[in-house]
Chains A and B, each alone.
Chain A
Amino acid sequence: MASLGDLERSVMTLLWDSGQKLSANDVRDELDESLAVTTVLTVLSRLEKKGMVTRDRGSRPHRYAASALREDHTVEMLNEVLGNAGDREAVLARFIGSVSEEEAATLRRILSE
C-alpha cells in the first residue's frame, strides 16, 4: 500500500493537473478505485492543514482545490533554498551559491579552452 506521503503527492498532482474543485469521491475515482473514501478525506484534510488545499464548504459534498499553482509553490520553495526567505540554514548549501560575474566568466573561459 502506498504511504500517506505518496498519496498526498498523487492527490496534489491530480488537483494541480485538473485545476478544478473536486470532491473526495471524484479524487478517489480518478486515483484508485480501491481506495477508501475516508482515506482520501484524511489525506485532503492533512493537505488543508498544510495550506496546500482549500475546501469549499458551500457545496455538499465538500469540494477541494489546490490553494496555489504548482509553479508558485515551487518558486516559493526554491527561494527558501536560495536564501531569500528566513531559514537559509534549513538546507545545506545548494550546489553553487554565489560566484561573482568575473569568476563565472573566468571559469567559462577556462573550460572553453
Chain B
Amino acid sequence: METLAFLLAALAVVLAIPVPKWLHTARFRVRSPWVAMVLWQAIALAGGLAIIGAPIVYGLSPFGNSLPSAFVTLAEAVRYEDYAGLEERDVHPSHIFALCLGALLAAHLLLTLARTFYRVRSARRRHREMVNLLSTPLTDDGTQALPDRLTDTHVIEHEAPLAYCLPGRTNAGALTVLSRGLLDQLSPEELGAVIAHEKTHLRQRHHFLTLAFEAWYRALPWLPTTRYGREAVLELTEMLADDGALGEHSRTDLLRSIATTTPGGEDPEQQLSTGQGGIITGARLQRLIAPPEPLGPVARAAVLGLSAALLAVPTGLLLFS
C-alpha cells in the first residue's frame, strides 16, 4: 500500500509538471489534434485521481493490504470506537494527516468542478438572453447563397467582423452568433466556412472538453501547468473546428475568413478591444497555411494506448492491488 501511495504521488507530480509542459507545444498535436485531445483528457482525469489517491492510500496503508479492505477496517474502527486498535496497527499522526489532506483535496477539486459548471452555465444563460434581445435570426434573403441549417444562427448589429457560438443545454438550444460586419465583409463561401467552424464546436461539444481544464485552472491557479492545459485544450478545439469546417469548405475560404476577422486589418472601430494575445492562434494558422501530415497509425495507436493506460493503471492499482 505504501509503495502504491508513492507510485501515485510520483504519477501526480509527473502529470502535473513535465508532461503538460511538453504536451502543450508537442509537434504531434498540430498533426492530429484529436489524438492530443484524448491524451489531455486522460491526463486531467488520471492526474486528478493520482493527486487525490496518493494521500488517501498512504493514510489507509496501516489498515489493510488493499484500498477497499483498508477502508472497511477503518470504517469499522471508527464505528465501534475501537481506538485502542489504532495503536496496534501502528497508525502514526502522519497517516491521519494524509487522510485529511486527501479528503480536502478531493472536496476542493470536485467542488471547484461543480462550481465552474454552474457559473459557466449561468453566464451562458445571461448571455443568451442578451443575444435574444439584441440579435435577429439570420434568414436567407435571397441575395446570398447561404448554407442551410440557419435556424439557430443569429445576427448582431455591429460593424466589427465577429463570429462565435454559444452552447446550449442540448444541441438544439445552441446558438451561432454572427455580426453584421462579418456578413458584409465575407463572401457566401467564406461565411459558410465560418459557420461550419462554429457548428463543429457545437456538434463535437467542445465546451465539455474544456470544462475540466477550466476547473483545474481555477482550483490550482498557482500550478503553472493548469494554465498550459487550459490554453492547449482551447487551441486544440480551434484546430478540430477548423478540420470540421474543411470537411465541407475549401482551405482558401477558411483562410480568407480568418484574414478578414483578424484585428489589424481595416478595423472599423476600436470600440471593441481585443482580448489576450498569444500562442493560441499561431499554430492553428500555421497548420492551415501549410497542412502537416496526420500522425501515422502506429504513432496514433501509441498515444491512444498511453491515454488508456493512464486511466486504467491507477484505477486498477487502487481497486485490485
Residues of A near any B CB (own CB < 8 A): 5, 8-9, 12, 50, 52, 70, 73-75, 77-84, 87-101, 103-108, 110-111
A108, B259: Cβ atoms closer than 8 Å: yes
* A5 CA to B277 CA, complexed, in Å: 36
* A87 CA to B125 CA, complexed, in Å: 12
Q: Out of B123, B198, B261, which one reaches A87, CB within 8 Å?
A: B123
A83, B275: Cβ atoms closer than 8 Å: yes
A94, B163: Cβ atoms closer than 8 Å: yes
- Interface CB pairs A-B, < 8 A, 18: A5-B132, A74-B157, A81-B162, A81-B177, A89-B116, A89-B120, A90-B123, A90-B126, A90-B127, A92-B166, A92-B237, A95-B261, A98-B277, A99-B258, A99-B263, A107-B289, A108-B265, A111-B252
* Closest A residue to B278 using CB positions: A98
Q: A100-B277, A104-B264, A110-B289 are in contact. Are A70 and B164 (CB under 8 A)?
A: no
- Which chain B residues (154-184) contact chain A, with CB distance < 8 Å? 156-158, 160, 162-167, 177, 179
> In the complex, what residues of B have CB within 8 A of residue A103's CB?
281-282, 285
Chain-A contact segment, one of B28-36, B105-113, B206-214: B206-214
Residues of B near any A CB (own CB < 8 A): 116, 119-120, 123-124, 126-127, 129-134, 136, 156-158, 160, 162-167, 177, 179, 194, 197-198, 201-202, 206-207, 210, 214, 234, 237-238, 252, 255-259, 261-265, 271-278, 280-282, 285, 289
Q: A87-B120, A90-B123, A100-B282 are in contact. Are A73 and B134 (CB under 8 A)?
A: yes
* Closest A residue to B166 using CB positions: A91
* A1 CA to B296 CA, complexed, in Å: 56
B214, A89: Cβ atoms closer than 8 Å: yes
* Closest A residue to B282 using CB positions: A103
A82, B258: Cβ atoms closer than 8 Å: no
B282 to chain A, nearest CB (A): 6
> In the complex, what residues of A have CB within 8 A of residue B124's CB?
90-91
Q: A77-B134, A81-B162, A108-B265 are in contact. Are A99 and B285 (CB under 8 A)?
A: yes
A98, B276: Cβ atoms closer than 8 Å: yes
B281, A99: Cβ atoms closer than 8 Å: yes
> In the complex, what residues of A have CB within 8 A of residue B210's CB?
89, 92
Give 9 nearest A-B pairs by CB, closest first.
Answer: A83-B275, A90-B123, A94-B164, A95-B163, A87-B123, A98-B277, A104-B264, A96-B261, A104-B262
* A81, A92, A95, A106 — most chain B CB neighbours (10 Å): A95
Known: A74-B158, A77-B130, A79-B272. 11 other contacts (CB 8 A): A9-B133, A9-B136, A77-B156, A87-B119, A87-B120, A91-B164, A99-B262, A103-B285, A106-B289, A108-B259, A111-B256
Q: Out of A82, A93, A101, A110, which one reaches B201, CB within 8 Å?
A: A93
B182 to chain A, nearest CB (A): 8
* A50 CA to B127 CA, complexed, in Å: 12
B157, A70: Cβ atoms closer than 8 Å: yes
